[in-house]
Amino acid sequence: MKAVRRLMIASVMMVAAGSAMSGIAAGQGAAAPGGARGTAAAAPKISTIEDLRKIYSQGNYRLCLQGIAKLIGSGPEKMGFEKSDLLYLRGECLIAQGDPASALPAYQAAEKEGKTGPQKLLARSMVVMIKSGNGKGYRTSPTGEPMDIVKPESRKTAMAALFTQKFPAASEAATNSLGAKNLPPLTHALPAVLDVGALEYAATGATTRTLAIAAPMGDRARELIGTEIDRLGNQLTQLQSRSNFVVTNNAVQVSSPGGGVWWEGNERAGLSPDDRDWLRTTANYLNEIMNACKEGTQLATVYEGNLQAWQQLSQLCEKAGTLLNQISEQE
C-alpha cells in the first residue's frame, strides 16, 4: 500500500509540474498575489548615451554601469558619441553609489580621453574633489556639515568652496614661476593651476580667475622651451658632424660636450663614452620638455590659448628627438 501511495503522489506532482510548464510556455507567467498573472518587464533599450543618462536620472546606477560597459565595448566613436562622456557617466554612477575609490579612475580616464575643454575640466574637478578626501561630501572644516557632491546644485557649492581654499596657493605658485630661469618651477606649478581651473569651471561655468594666472605661465614656458630646444638642437647637430668626421692620419683630436679629449685614426670619429652619457642625459631632458609641451597643449585646449604655438614647439622637440636617435643608432 505504501508503494502504491508513493506512486500516486509522484503521478500527481508530475501532472502539476507539466501544467505549470505548459502555462509558462504559453506566456502566462507566474501567479501573482491574489491569483493574477503577469509578464516580466522588458529590459530598457540602451543604444545611445541619452538612454544611459535617462537610466541614471532614474537612479538605476547598476543598470547604467552595465550599459556603459556595453557601449564602450562596442566602440563609442563608431556609434556617434565620445568615450570621455561614457567614462564620466561611469564616474557619476559610482560616486552616486558611494564608491569614490572606483569613481576616481573613471574620472581620470574621462579627463585623459576628453577632446574639449569642458570635458577635461569637469572630469578633473571630480578628480580633485575625490583626492581631497571628501568621498560623497565636502567639509569646509573638520567639524562642518558635509556638502553633497552628487546632486548638481550642492556639487557646485562644494566646488566653489574647494576652489576658494586652493586658489591662493595656486596663484602664488604661478606668480613665483614666472621669474624662473628654467622649466621645473613652471611644470611644478602647472598641476595646481589646472586643478583650480577645473574647480572654477565646475562651480561657475567659467575660468576667468584661473586664466589670469595661467596665460602668463604659458607665455613664459614657451619662451623657455623654445630657447632650450634651439640650444639642444645646435649641440646635437655639432655632435653629429663631429662623430661623422673621417680621421685619416691618427692625429685628429676630438672632444665631447662632457670635456673628454681623445685621438682617432683612419676611420669615422664616432662617439666617445662622454658623448653617449651626454646623449642619455639629453634624451631624458627632451622627454621632460615634451611632457611640458603636452601639458601646455592641454592648457591651451582648456583655456583656448595659443594652441598652434604649443603644437609648433612639440614638433621642434620631436625633431630634436629624432636627430638624437639617429646619432645614437649610428654605432
Q: What is the DSSP string of 132-144?
A: TT-TTEE-SSTTS
pLDDT beyond 70 at 248: no
Burial degree of 170 (CB within 10 A; 0-12, 13-18, 19+) = buried
pLDDT value for 299? 78
Contact 89, 109 (CB under 8 A): no
- DSSP 8-state class, residue 26: T
pLDDT in tens, 79-122: 677 899 999 999 999 999 999 999 999 999 999 999 888 999 99
Distance CA 263, CA 269 (A): 9
pLDDT beyond 70 at 247: no
Distance CA 209, CA 196 (A): 9
Q: Which three cell numbers stand for residue 278?
A: 651626454
Q: Which three cell numbers stand for residue 76?
A: 563609442
* For range 217-229, the mean pLDDT: 92
Contact 149, 192 (CB under 8 A): no
Phi-psi region of 201 (alpha: psi -120 to 50; beta: other; left: phi over 0): alpha
pLDDT value for 31? 45
Contact 320, 229 (CB under 8 A): yes
- DSSP 8-state class, residue 37: B
Amino acid, single-letter form, for residue 31: A
Least confident segment among 39-43, 215-219, 301-305 = 39-43
Which secondary structure element, helix H or strand E, spans residue 326, and what is its range?
helix 307-328
pLDDT in tens, 73-84: 888 776 677 899
Distance CA 87, CA 110 (A): 5
Number of H helices and E strands in the chain, helices first, is: 11, 6
Distance CA 278, CA 172 (A): 35
Residue 285 binned pLDDT confidence (cut-offs 50, 70, 90) = very high
pTM over 0.85: no
Q: Which three cell numbers stand for residue 122?
A: 569637469
Residue 156 binned pLDDT confidence (cut-offs 50, 70, 90) = very high
Burial degree of 157 (CB within 10 A; 0-12, 13-18, 19+) = middle
Residue 274 binned pLDDT confidence (cut-offs 50, 70, 90) = very high
Contact 89, 98 (CB under 8 A): no
Instruction: Kindly report the average pLDDT of the chain as a whole number.
Output: 82
> In residues, how long is the chain?
331
- DSSP 8-state class, residue 98: T
Contact 275, 257 (CB under 8 A): yes
pLDDT in tens, 16-49: 444 444 443 444 444 444 444 445 556 677 878 8
Q: How many CB atoms lie within 10 A of CB 299?
A: 25
Contact 86, 49 (CB under 8 A): yes
